Structure 1
Amino acid sequence: MKIKQTPRKQPPRVTKTPRKKLRMACFFLVFVGVFVVGFFCGIKYRNALVGELSVRGFTKRSNSFTLGAKNFLRTLPKVPQRYLKASPAQKIYLNIKFKHLSKLQKKRSEALSIGHLTKTDDDYVPAEVIINGETLAVKLRLKGDDLDHLRGNKISLRVKVRDGKHIFGMRRFSLQAPHTKGYQAEALIHDHMRLEGIIAPRYFFVDTYINGSRMGIMAVEEHFSKEIQEFHGRRESVILCFDESLMWQSTNANASAGVFENYTTATLRAFHPSRIEKSPQLQRNLQTAIGLMRGFLEGKLRAEDVFDIELFAKFFAISEIWNTLHGLRWNNMRFYYNPITAKMEPVSFDVNANYVEDNSLLVLQHRFATLPRHMMQSPKMKEAYVRNLHKVIQRLVEGETISTLRKNEQGYLQILFGDTPLLGSFSFSNLVKRARTLSQITVDNYATYVPKMVFSQFNYPQIVHAYLVKEPTKHIEIHNVSDVPIEVVDIKAQKAVSCSLPMVIAASPFGQKLQYHCVDYDFAAQEKIEITVRLQGNEKLHKTVALHYAGVQNSHPISPQPLMQILRENSFLFWDKNRRCVVVKKGEWRVEKYIVFPQGIQVRIQSGCKLYFAEKAGLLIRGALLANGEAQNPIFLQAVKNTWCGITVLEANESSQLTHVHIHNTSGHLLPHWSITGAITFYKSDVQIKNCTIAHNSCEDALNIIHSQFLLENVHIHDTISDAFDADFAEGIVKGCEFFQIAGDAVDSSGSKIKIYNTTIRDIKDKALSFGERSKVEARNIHILRSGTGVAVKDNSYLEILQAKFTDIKHAALMAYIKKNEFGPAEIHATDVEIIGKKNIIAQTQSTIVLNKKVIETQDIDIDKIYKDGYMKKKR
C-alpha cells in the first residue's frame, strides 16, 4: 500500500495526455510479451500468471491456463478502444493523517500475518473525504475477512460519515477493490435482487485517491443503515445477522472454525445498537425479531411463521440461478424485520460472484448452505421456492430481466475499463442456460443432502452462551455451544440461585439445535451474573457474563386463528358459502377480542351494522374488507367505552371497499409482540374509501396506506392526536375530502404518488400537507386555513399545486427543504395561489419554490433545529 504520508487538501487534476496513452500502449505490449514467455516457463509459472491476470481483470476467472490464454488473446485487440472510450468515474479523495494511516497499516500487517482480518470498534480512525469540492468528516477502518481485501494497492475500507452527513446518499459504506467480488457481477446480482423486490445494497464504482495517491477504481457497497431501508420503501426497523466472532476466534486458535462453523452456536445481533437503544419501537422490534428467529431455531415455529417465504424463495432462486453460495452461508445472511407483517425478509449481501460452484449440485444443497437447508425443510418454503424459481426463470428467458441487466452492465464496464480494459463482459447466455436447466426442478424431485461432519478436539474460545430472559418469567438460559457435555460449576449473582451444581448440559452436535438448561431467577435490570463452566473431563474453567436476550417465541405475533374457532367464539359472524366469505350479521354487536382472520378470507360488513369493540379488540384481515353502508343506513365501528385498536388489512388479493362507514375512538394496534403506527392500515392491499368518517384517533396515524393503490373520496378525518392520513410508497387520489382538528399532519406521504382535488384542511397544529422521500404530488383547488405550516415539501419530492388558498398560516405557507441529506432538494410549483395573512415562503438553499410564476429566493435554514426544538417538533 504505497500512500503518501502528507495529506493534500486540494484534489489533483488528472488528465489522460497523449504521452500517458503511449505509455499505456507500451505497457500492454510488454505485458503480452511476459504472457507469452510465461507460457514456455513451466505450468507452475503459467498458472500463477493467469491468476494474476484474473485478479487484475485481464482475463475471465478460470482454472485452465489454455482457456485463460484464449480469453486474454481474444480480448486484447479491444484494449485500445476500451481504454480510450472508458467513462470517467466519480472521483473521491480521502485524506488520512500519518499517525492514523500508520494504525491502518499496522492492522493490515497483523491480518496478513494471521491469515484474516479481525475487527473491533477501536479500529476506526478519523479522516476527511473530498467529493465534488465538499469536505466531509468520516471515520474509517480496514474491511473484509479474507486477505484479498488487503493485498496490493487497493485496500478495502469501511467508511462512516460523521455529523449527520451523507455521501452518495449513504452514511455507511465500503470501498473495496472490484476484483474482490467479481467486478460488475456483484452489482448485477444485486440489481437482479432488486428487480424481484429484495433489499440489496447499492453497489457502484468510483475513482479513489488517498492523500493524493491514486488507488484506482474501487467498488462502493452500501452498509446496513436505515437509508437502505428507506431506499427500498421499507419502514424503519432492525436488520439482524448472526455474530460470527466465535467462528473467527476458533479459526485463530485451531486453524479451523470447527463446531463454530454453525449458526446454532452464534448469537443473533442487530446492526447499529446505539440507534435501537434510543427508540422504544425499535427495541420492541428487536425483541420480537430475535424471539421469532429463536423460535424457528428451537423448532417451535415453522419457516413460514418467521420468514417472508415469497421473498426468501426469490432470494434462494436468484442465488441458485447465479450459482453463488457465498451469500447463503449463515454468517453472510442478513435479515430485515418487517414490523407490519412481523416477518423476516432477506437482505442480499456479499453474494460474491468470485465464489461460484463448479459442480452439478444445487447451491441450496451445499454443505455450507446450512441455514437455507434448514428453512427448506418446510413444505411451504419448498413449494414457494420451486414456484418462484420458475417465475424468475421465465422472466429471464423472456429477456426482460436480461435486457435491464445488460444495460446496467454497460455502465459498470465503461467505468471499470479505465483500470481493467481486458475485463470480459458477463456471460448472460450461460446464465440463461443454467436457468433453463433449473426449470426442471419440481417439489417432488428437489432433494436435500445433509452430510455428517466429524471434528477433532478444539481449543474452544467459548463453550457457553448465557442469557437473561424476561419472558414468560425471568430466568437464566445456559446454552452448550460445544460438541461435548459441559458442567456448570458456579452461578454468581446478587441473590441465591435455586439449582443444583454442578449441572451437566448435554453436547450440542454439529448442525443441530443447542442443548441448554433454564434456571429460574428474578434478576435486576442492571445485575451482573457470571457463569462458570468447564468441559466434562477437563479442569479448565470458562467464565462468561450473562447477557440480556429475547426469549423463544412459540407462536407468530399475529398468527391467524382457525376460521371455525372465530365463527364459534363470535356469534355475530357467519360463513357465506356462496360468496365464500365471512359476513357480519345485521344488528348491534360487541367485539370482545382481537380477531385475526386466516389468509385469503374476505370479510363483509353489512349496511346498518354497529360494532362496539372492547379496549384491546380489533380486526386483522388478510383478505378484502367490504364494508358497504348506505347514506341513510351507515356502518358504525367504535369503542364500547374509551378506545379500541382498529382495523388492519394485510396483503389482500382483492381491493377493499369502505362506503358510508363511521370509525371512532381508535387507539392503534399494540399486541404483546406486534404494533403498527396506523389505526386503520392497508398494507399491500388496494382500497377505495368513500363517504366515510374517521374521528377521535389517539395513535400516530388515523389512516395509513402502505404499498397500495387507493381512492379517498368525500372522506372526513378529524380530532386526532397526531397525523390524519399517511401514505407510504402508495399511489392514489384524495378527492373532495376534509381534514380538521389534527394535532399532527393532515396528509403525510413518503415515496408516494398522489393527486389531491377539491379538499379542505383546517385547524392543523403541524403541517396541512407534508410530502417527503421522492413523493410526486399534484394538488388542485385546495383550501388550507389555520395551520402551523401550510405545505412542506422535502427530500427530493415534487409538488405542483394549482388554485389554492391559504388563510391564517402560523409559520409558513410553503416550505421546500432537505430533511434527510441522502435524498436531496425539493421543488414546489404553485400557480393561482392566494395567501391571506402571514405571507411567509421558505425555500432552503438548493430547493425550489415558484409561486405564481415568481421564483422565491432561497435561504440557509437549520432544519434539524426546527424539528428538534422549533415549531415542527412533535409534541405528543
Structure 2
Amino acid sequence: MKYQVKITVTLLIIATIALISSCFRNYKHSKERNIYSSLETLSKDKKHFVADSNSKYIFKGGNFQSGIQKRSGNFSVITTPKNAFSLSIGLPRIKQDSYVEASVWRKGEFGHLVAVTSGPTAYISTSDAVEIDNNGWSKLSLQFYMPPVKDFQELKVYVWNSGKDTVFFDDISINVIDKKIFPAFREDALHIEMDTSEYLKLMDVRKRAFNAGILQTTDDDWIKGMVFADGGLMKSSLRLKGDWLDHLHGNKWSFRVKLKKGNSWNNMRVFSVQNPMARLGVNEWFFHKFLITEGLLTTRYGFIPTTINGDNLGLYAWEEHFTKQLVESQGRREGPIVRFQEDALWDTRVFDKNGKRNNLKTPNFETSIIKPFSGSKIIADSILFKQFLIAQNLMYQYKHRLMPASKIFNIEMLAKYFASADVFLTRHSTKMHNQRFYYNPVLCKLEPIAYDCYSDIERYIKSTNPIYGYLHYDAIGSLDDEYLMARELFNDTLFTPLYINYLKKYSSEKFLDSLFDHYKNQIYFYDSLISIEFPEQYFFQYEILENATNIRNELPAFKKQFVTMKKENRHWKNTSKTIINYDTILKDFMAPNLITCYRQKDYGDSSYYKIYNFYPDDIIVLGLGTGDKRIKEVIVPVPIVKGFADGKSGTVMFSAENANLNYLFFSIKDHNEIMTTEIMLWPEPTAEQTPLQQMLTAYPFPDTNIIEKVENDKVWIKPGNVTMSNTVIIPMGYRVYFHEGTTLNMINKAGFISYSPININGTKQKPVTITSTDFSANGFTVLQANGMSQIKNTSFNNLNTLNYRGWTLTGAVNFYESDVTIINTTFYRNQCEDALNIIRSNFTLENSVFDYIQSDAFDSDFSEGKVLETKFTNIGNDAIDFSGSQIVIKDVEINNANDKGISGGENSTLLVENTTIKAAGIGLASKDLSIIEVNNCIITDCNYGIVLLQKKPEYGPSTLILNNTLLRNSKTRSLIELGSIVIENSDTIRGTQKNCAELFY
C-alpha cells in the first residue's frame, strides 16, 4: 500500500484545524501503561534493554546493541538472518477490552513488528511502514484489541528480520490502554439510553459473539431503549449490529436502531450507528455522496457524536437501513428491497474449539435464500407481495445466470454500480453477500443499492485487474458460482457498452478533479474530525487517482476485446464447478441455516410446505409452530428428509392444517436436540419469466397489425381506425409517430408500451384518439425514453392501467424517466387510479382537459414541470397531486374534486398562480415539508380551504404562502397542524392542531 497521503492545501488545513478545535474539548486515554525504550540503557548482565519509561520492563537483545545505525541517541539493535529475533518482551496480565498500540523504527528491508497473545487475536504482524523520516528510518505500527473472552491475557511483542540482510531497529514503544476516553464534541449528539437489564442482555450477546468469532443476531436480541436527538425523546428498539467483532470493541459498540411508530430522525425510521472506521472513515461518506449525485441508490450516511447511557463514546457514523424511506428519498416509488441471505456463509466463519475459523465447506451458495427486508409488511400487503415474488424470480435468474443482465436489471444503474466500484476501489460492495437490490415496480426490473463499500480496500489497491469486467479467461470449473453471477453480466452486449462508458467517465482526470474539488471542504472537515479519534484515518484521493490512471491505460484493450467478441458472436462460457468437495461432517449448529422451507400453496385453511435439506445428514420433521418455542402442529406421517449428497439436496413436500405457522421444528437423525428454522411464507423462486419478460417473448417487435412501417429509427403507427387486441412493445432507439386523425382502439386488455419517445401530432380538425371500447386497455406507457415526447390534440378515453401478472402501474397514461410535452389533450373517463402519471421526468401540460376521472386526475412524483391553462372537472379524488416535485401551476381551473384540488407532498415546491379551485374536499393541501406559494387565486365552496399537515413521520411540517388569494364559502377555512405555518399577505399564522393526518388517512 502507498504511504498514507493526506491532502495538503495549507490554507484549508489551517481553516479546518481552527474549526475542528472549536468542536471538541480534550481527548485522552485512561489507565495507560506506557513502555518505551530508546535502546540506550542495558541491564547489568548486558543481555537486555531497560525501558526508559519504567525500569521494571526489559527487552531481550541487549547483547546485539549496535552503534552502526541509530535513529535517536547512540544505539539501536542489529538483527541478521542468524539472529533474526530481538526486542522480545512479555506482558502476562493484559485486561480484557484493553487496546494495545505497539511501534518500532526500522532501518532496512524485511523487518517485522510482531505481537502474540493468548486469546483469539493470536498472531499479528506488520512490515508496512506508516511513516518514513528524513534519514530513511521506517515506522512500523500495530494496533489491536484484547477481546473479552478471558479476564486477563498474555501478550508478547518482538521484532523479526525475515530477510537475508541486516536490519536495525530502534525506539520501541508499547502502550496498553485499559479504557478509552473519547473526545467530547460541542455539536449536538445522539443519545441512546437503556435500562440496566437491557444493557446486560446486550453484554450477553456481545460475549456470545466474541466466543463465536462473529456476531450472529436473532430476533430475541432486540431490546427496548430510548433515543434523544434534536430535542425529542423517541422510543426505540435496539440491537447490536455488524458481522465482524470490530463493531464491538471496548465500549464503542455498533447498533441497529428502530424508532417506534410516529418517530423519525434525519428523515429515517430505521438506521445504524457504528464506529466510523468500520467503513474507513470519511471515504464511505464521500462515496455515498457521489453515488447519490449519480442517481444510484445508496444508504444515506453521516457522522454524529454519540452517548450511550450518558457515557460519551466519541464520533459515530450513522447509516440508513433498507426501508421504503431509502428509495423514496432518492426519487423512487416504494418497492421491495431484496438480498441473498448469508447466514450459512457466516456459519463457516464461526470459531472452532481452538479459536480458529472452522472454514468448513458447505453449500451456502445453494442455500442462500432470497429474502425481502421488512418481510412482515410485504407479506401483509398484497401489492408488495406480488412485487416481491417477481423480484425473487429476478434474483433467481441472476443467481443461476438464466437471463442476460438487460432482462433482469436496470442496466444503466447496474453499469454505474460496477464502474464506480472499479474506479473508487469499492468492489467489496459488489460481493454476493453484500449485494442489495431494489425492485423497481414501474420498470419490472432490479436496481442495485450500493453499501458497505470501504471495508477491505487493501486488496483492491494491489489488484492487477483494475477493470472487473475485463475477463481474461473462460471460467471452466474454476470459480465458485457466486463469482460467476457477476462475470455473466459482461456477456450482455447491451450492458457492457454502458459499463465501458461509465468507466471512461468516472476515471477521467477532469471528472475526478471536479468531484474532489466539489466536496473538498467537507472532506477536509470530516477527515480532520475523525482523525482526532482515529489518527490512522485518511482520504484515499491518491489511491483513487492512481487506480483511475490504471483503468484509463487498460480501457482501450478492454474495448477492443468487447468489440471483437461481439463481432464474432463469442461469449464467456463461465461453467461452474461440477464437483465440489463439501465437508460431510458438519457442526450441529449449522443445520438450521442449511434447511430451507417454503410455504408453497394455500388451500382453504391448509397449506403445502416444501423442505430442502442442504445438511449432509438426514433430518426428521417434528412439526410446525407459530413461534420458535413450541410445536403447534405435528406432521403425520413424520417426514424424513434425505441429507445433501452428490450436489443434490433432499426434498420433501407435505401439508399442514393450521394457518400462521412460521417455524419448522426438526432434529438431525440419531440426534436428540430439537432445532428450528424459519419458514419462508412464500413459494420458492423459479426460473419463470417475469411479466415484462413474458410480454417481450409473446409480443415481438415490430407488430405489423398496428405498425405501418419502420424506417431507420422511425416507427409509424398505422393511420385511420386501428384495433389493437394484444400488447405492443416498442424497444429503445426509435421515435414513434402517429398520423393525424388516427384512432387506436385497445381491446382485450391490450397495452401500449414504448421505450422510445413518441410523437402524437393531431390537429384540431383531425385529433388523435387513444381509446378502449371495452374499457380494458392496459394503459399507454412510455418508459425511459431517450428524448422528448410530444402529444398534441389527442384524446385518451376509457383507458385502464397496465396490470399484468403482478406488474401494475397506476396511470391510464404513464411517463417514467421520459420527458414529455402535452398540449390540447383530453383525458376522459379513465378506469384506474390516475388518468395521467408522470414520474422522474420533466414535463409541460398545457391547455388540456381532465373530465370524469375515476380517482386522481394528474399524479406526478419526483418531477419538474408546468401545468398551464388546464381544466379539471368531476374528479373522483385529487385533481393535481405532486410528491417530491418542483412545479409551476398557472391559469388552471378545478371544479368538483372529491378530495384535494391541489396537493403538494414529500418536500415538493409548488408555485400556483391565477388558479381557481371550486367545490373540492380540500382546496389546497401542503404536506410533509412541502412549500406552496399561491398568488392571485380563488378557493371557493370547499369543505376545507387549506390544510397543512405531516402525513409521514420521516418528513416534517409544511409551509403555505398566500398572496392576494381569496378563500371563501369553505366549511373550514383552514386546518394548520402544529409546526406548519401559513404566511397570508405577510401575516404569519402558526399551526396549533395536532395529528391532523388522522382526520384524512
Q: TM-score, normalised by structure 1?
A: 0.84
What is the letter of the counterpart of residue 824 of structure 1?
G
Report the counterpart of residue 77 of structure 1 in structure 2.
none
Distance 1:546 1:139 in 2: 24
Please list, as runs of the form range in 1=range in 2, the aligned pairs for 1:129-168 lying within 5 A after superposition: 129-168=227-266
Structure 2 counterparts to residues 147-226 of structure 1, below 5 A:
147-226=245-324
Q: 1:182 Cα deviation (Å)?
A: 0.8
Q: Deviations over 1:706-763 (max 9, x none)?
A: 1111010111112222211111111111000011111211111111111111000110
Q: Which amino acid aligns with 2:706?
A: F
Query: Given residue 194 of structure 2, which amino acid in structure 1 is its aligned partner?
Result: I
Residues 1:647 and 1:541: Cα distance change in structure 2 (over 3 Å): same
Larger CA Rg, structure 1 vs 2:
2
The aligned residue for residue 514 of structure 2 is 400
Q: Tell me, what secondary structure is at the counterpart of 1:617?
A: coil
State which of 946, 950, 953 in structure 2 corresponds to 1:821.
953
TM-superposed deviation, 1:429: 2.6
SS of residue paired to 1:697: coil
What is the rounded CA distance, in whole Å, between the counterparts of 2:104 and 2:252 in structure 1? Answer: 14
Trace 1:489-528 onto structure 2 (pairs within 5 A). 507-508=646-647
Determine if the alignment matches structure 1 residue 573 to structure 2 residue 707: yes
Distance 1:431 1:451, change over 3 A: farther
Deviates more, 1:132-141 or 1:456-465: 456-465
| Pairs within 5 Å for 1:402-441 | 402-420=516-534, 422-439=535-552, 440-441=554-555
| Identity within the alignment, % | 26
Q: CA deviation at 1:817?
A: 2.5
Instruction: Give the letter aligned to residue 377 of structure 2.
Output: R
Q: Which moved more, 1:777-786 or 1:408-417?
A: 408-417
2:870 corresponds to which residue? 737
Give the conservation status (yes or no) of the 8 Å contact 2:773–2:798: no
Task: Give the aligned residue type for 1:341.
Answer: L
How far apart, in 1, do the equivalents of 2:281 and 2:231 lie?
28
The match for 1:759 is 892
Q: How many residues align?
A: 824
Aligned counterparts of 2:777 and 2:260: Cα–Cα separation in 1: 43
* Aligned position for 2:46: none
Pick from 445, 449, 463: which aligns with 1:360?
463
Preserved contact between residue 643 and residue 650 of structure 2 (Cα < 8 Å):
no
CA contact (8 A) 2:614 2:644 kept: no
Residue identity matched to 2:716? V
2:646 partner amino acid: A
Higher relative contact order (Cα pairs below 8 Å, separated by 6+ residues):
1
Amino acid at match of 2:960: I
CA drift of 1:424 comes to 4.6
Q: What is the match of residue 370 of structure 2?
A: 268
The answer to whether residue 980 in structure 2 is matched with residue 847 in structure 1 is yes
Q: Distance in 1 between matches of 2:918 and 2:411?
A: 48
Distance 1:604 1:825 in 2: 45
| Secondary structure at 2:420 match in 1 | helix
Q: Comparing 525-534 with 259-268, which one deviates more in the overlay? A: 525-534
* CA RMSD after TM alignment: 4.3
The Cα shift of 1:72 comes to 8.3
TM-superposed deviation, 1:291 = 1.5
Q: In 1, distance between residues paired with 2:803 and 2:243?
A: 41
> Does the 8 Å CA contact 1:477/1:516 hold for their aligned counterparts?
no
Q: Which ranges of structure 2 fall in alignment gaps of 5 or more residues? A: 1-19, 39-50, 54-58, 60-70, 78-85, 91-98, 106-112, 114-123, 142-180, 472-478, 563-571, 625-632
Equivalent residue in structure 2 for 1:103, among 201, 204, 222 = 201
Q: How do 1:445-594 and structure 2 match up within 5 A? A: 454-459=581-586, 461-462=590-591, 463-469=594-600, 479=612, 481=614, 507-508=646-647, 547=680, 548-559=682-693, 570-577=704-711, 580-594=713-727
Cα shift at 1:43: 7.1
Q: Which moved more, 1:245-254 or 1:441-450?
A: 441-450
CA displacement 1:515-568 (0-9 Å, x = unmatched)? 787979999976899898989x99999997864324424334223867996577
SS state at 1:632 partner:
coil
Give the whole-Å Cα distance in 1 for the aligned partners of 2:330 and 2:225.
Answer: 30
CA contact (8 A) 2:789 2:819 kept: yes
CA 1:113–1:22 in structure 2 vs 1: closer, same or farther (change >3 Å)?
A: closer
Q: What is the CA–CA distance in structure 2 between the aligned matches of 1:396 and 1:337, rounded to whole Å? A: 34
- Residue 162 of structure 1 and its aligned partner are, at CA, apart by 0.9
Aligned mates of 1:226, 1:807 — CA distance in 2:
37
State whether residues 896 and 918 of structure 2, in contact with CA within 8 Å, keep that contact through their aligned partners in structure 1: yes
Q: Does 1:67 align with 2:112?
A: no
Q: Is the 8 A contact 2:641 2:652 kept in 1?
A: no
| Whole-angstrom distance in 2 between the partners of 1:504 and 1:134 | 54
Deviation at 1:699, TM superposition (A): 1.6
Amino acid at match of 2:968: I
- Where 1:719 maps in the other structure, the secondary structure is strand
**C-alpha distance in 2 between matches for 1:247 and 1:133:** 42
Give the aligned residue type for 2:238: L
Aligned partner of 2:486 in structure 1 is: 372
- Are 2:665 and 2:674, in contact at CA under 8 Å, matched by a contact in 1? no
Q: Is 1:96–1:128's contact at 8 Å kept on the other side of the alignment?
A: yes
Q: Which residue of 2 aligns with 1:599?
A: 732
What's the secondary structure of 1:263's corresponding residue? coil
Match of 1:90 in 2: 188
Does the 8 A contact of 1:690 with 1:715 survive in 2?
yes
2:164 aligned partner: none
Partners of 2:301 and 2:100 in 1: CA distance: 30
**C-alpha distance in 2, partners of 1:153/1:133?**
25
Is the partner of 1:99 in helix, strand or coil? helix
The superposition leaves residues 491-524 of structure 1 with CA deviations (integer Å, 9 ceiling, x where unpaired) of: 99999999x999898633xxxxx77879799999
User: 2:426 is matched by which residue type in structure 1?
Assistant: T
**Structure 2 residue aligned with 1:311:** 413
Letter paired with 2:730: F
Q: Flag the 1:50–1:805 CA change in 2: closer, same or farther, 3 A.
A: farther
Q: Which is further off, 836-845 or 440-449?
A: 440-449
- Tell me the residue number matched to 2:101: 49
Partner of 1:661: 794
AA aligned opposite 1:273: G
Instruction: State the distance in 2 between where 1:655 and 1:848 align.
Output: 38
Give 1:233's match in structure 2, choosing from 311, 331, 336.
331
Kept after mapping to 1: 8 A contact 2:184/2:314: no
Q: Secondary structure at the match of 2:366?
A: helix
AA aligned opposite 1:572: I
Q: Which moved more, 1:334-343 or 1:591-600?
A: 591-600
Describe the shift of the 1:853–1:323 C-alpha distance in structure 2 as closer, same or farther (beyond 3 A). closer
Higher mean Cα deviation, 145-154 or 602-611?
602-611
Cα separation, 2, equivalents of 1:634 and 1:211: 70
Q: Which moved more, 1:708-717 or 1:191-200?
A: 191-200
Say if 1:488 and 1:531, in contact at 8 Å, map to a contact too: no
Aligned-partner Cα distance in 2 for 1:235–1:430: 37
CA distance change for structure 1 residues 718 and 230 in 2, over 3 Å: closer, same or farther? same
- Residues 491 and 497 of structure 1 are in contact (CA less than 8 Å); yes or no, is this contact kept in structure 2? no
Q: Which secondary structure state, in structure 2, belongs to the residue aligned with residue 856 of structure 1?
A: strand
CA deviation map 1:156-175 (0-9, x unaligned): 11111113200121111111
Question: Paired residue for 1:623, among 734, 741, 756?
Answer: 756
Tell me how far 1:133 sits from its aligned partner.
Answer: 2.8
Unaligned runs of 5+ residues in structure 1 are: 1-15, 55-60, 75-82, 509-513, 867-871
Q: 1:758 to 1:286 in 2, by over 3 A?
A: same
What SS class does the counterpart of residue 793 from structure 1 fall into? strand
Name the structure 2 match of 1:342. Answer: 444
Q: Residues 189, 567 of structure 1: CA spacing in aligned structure 2 closer, same or farther, 3 A cutoff? A: closer
Contact 1:618 1:644 in 2 (8 A): yes
